[in-house]
Amino acid sequence: MRTTAMNKVSVVVFAVLCGGAVGWLLVHEKDDSPRPWAVAVDGDTDGGQRDGGADPPAPFEAGAAGGDSFLDGDAGEALLDGGGLPVLGDGPKSVRFGVILVQYAGAQGTKAEARSRVAAETLAAELAKLALEDFAAAVKKGDRGSVEDAGRMFRGILERKPEYVLFNLDKGGVSDPVDTPRGFWIVKRLE
């Protein structure tokens, strides 16, 4: 008899806890408080509510901060030819992509015996040419971490340069090598 009463109490307590959790989720689902990870974009159709009303980021230009710009020579911050970053504009908020990674000594996650930066840049240029014809074959020749479909990437996660290159590609487009803190990337936008 006592076991049956305990089972009923356990069921009631469990039901109350589950109901409370569902109620909490429903209340907090509509929370419009600012989220620091959200990135506002031009053409935002929700009036800035979903991302906390933040202003869209300003376009980046090489040398905008003067002679010693933080964009000069930083992996993930400037294009290989030294040119400015393209304006993202009203592009998509997320894309699916594949990536070919070519690591070099000094990049994040590389071993001490990794190839030189110059050798990596040469290999990345060769793989970028191959990727235009056969992306899957180029992925197989890339370093560990290269993948045909890396999944969905949202704005505001990558460093500026790889993000702008990726989000400015047309569907099916393949980029030139992009220097990132992890090594050179060649990206293909899948959708």
Reading the block at residue 88, the tokens are 């993202």
Q: Which residues pair with 50 in a beta bridge?
A: none
Is pLDDT at 36 greater than 90 in this prediction? no
- Residue pLDDT, tens place only, 89-98: 667 889 999 9
The vertex-153 CA angle with 166 and 98, nearest 5°, equals 60
Query: What is residue 34's predicted lDDT score, i.e. its pLDDT?
Result: 45
Please provide the DSSP assignment of 133-191 as one string.
H-HHHHHHHSPTT-EEEEEEEETTSS-HHHHHHHHHSPTT-BPPPEEETTEEEEEEE--
- Residue pLDDT, tens place only, 50-75: 444 444 444 433 333 333 333 334 55
Is pLDDT at 160 greater than 50 in this prediction? yes
- Residue pLDDT, tens place only, 122-156: 999 999 999 999 999 999 999 999 999 999 999 99
Mean of pLDDT values over 18-44: 52
In whole angstroms, what is the distance from residue 71 CA to residue 39 CA?
A: 20
Query: What is residue 67's predicted lDDT score, i.e. its pLDDT?
Result: 38
Q: Which fold has domain 32-191?
A: Chitinase A; domain 3 (3.10.50)
pTM assigned to the model: 0.56
Q: Indicate the SS3 state at residue 96.
A: strand
| Residues with Cβ within 8 Å of residue 42, at least 6 apart in sequence | 56, 89, 90
Q: What is the mean pLDDT of the chain?
A: 75
In whole angstroms, what is the distance from residue 187 CA to residue 142 CA?
A: 12
Query: What is residue 10's predicted lDDT score, i.e. its pLDDT?
Result: 77
In whole angstroms, what is the distance from residue 104 CA to residue 56 CA?
A: 34
- What single letter denotes the amino acid at residue 154? F
Mean of pLDDT values over 94-119: 93
44 — pLDDT class (breaks 50, 70, 90): very low
